[in-house]
Amino acid sequence: MDSNLEQVIAELVVANHILFDEHVVDAFGHVSVRHPGKPGHFLLSRSMAPSRVRAEDIIEHDENGEPVDANERGVYLERFIHAEIYRARPDVASVVHSHSASVIPFGVSRVSLRPVFHMASFLQGATRFEIREGFGDETDLLIRDAEKGRYLAQALGGACVSLLRGHGSVVVGGNLRESVYRAVYTEVNARIQTQAIALGTEVDYLTAAESGAATRANATQTSRCWDLWAEQAAARRKTEI
């Protein structure tokens, strides 16, 4: 196996563990990354709880979301989320889909998820995906085919985050570490925003200009978060063994 591919797979395994440890995913949810040697393809684990993912669980998928080397390993029903976002967004190199508990209320209410502090500045312009608009009110809310994936990618547009009503969210990044950073701070911002709203006074959100400046500054700092989270994830799993 190419050494670069091995490194990407290793980081994808760590990403799964971090997202679990930081309460973004539980038994459900998934994270993918573009294949380093085949930009139209992506890497995603087999269908399993993210905290249990290992290198041997990573499966290459083609541009249509179909597994290339599953070898009888089960694949995620919602792999089309990843395939269609990658198709629509050449700038995206990693996608996280989760049912992050603090984020769900913003998808089912009329309260917009907006950045309340600088670490979540990327939330400026977060969008909403309403599956009923395209597919009626009798779906199971899952993105289980390419048509629904395309509709979701359209709803995401050029944003970093889109909320799926009654389901969860998708978060994208220009690389794996950025998507993990954004997924974690989407959850954190949702929790803080809920607390701020509960105070009963008007919330002072970041302006578009503040969000842009903060996002540019934070882009240079994602590895600081990654290094800490990866170290903690490794220590936890060593202790568990």
DSSP H helices, the chain, are 3-21, 79-88, 104-108, 131-135, 146-156, 176-198, 208-218, 222-240
Q: How far apart are CA 9 and CA 156, in angstroms?
A: 26
Q: How far apart are CA 53 and CA 45, in angstroms?
A: 7
How big is the CA angle at 234 (ends 231 and 240), to the nearest 5 degrees?
A: 140
Quick one: which of 168, 187, 203, 201 has its CA closest to 123?
187
Quick one: which of 81, 51, 52 has its CA closest to 61?
81
Q: Are strands 30-34 and 94-98 parallel, antiparallel or unpaired?
A: antiparallel
Q: How far apart are CA 204 and CA 55, in angstroms?
A: 44
Catalytic residue flag (residue 78): yes
Count the residues in the chain: 241
Catalytic, out of 78, 84, 178, 187: 78
Q: How far apart are CA 26 and CA 76, in angstroms?
A: 15
Residues assigned a catalytic role:
78
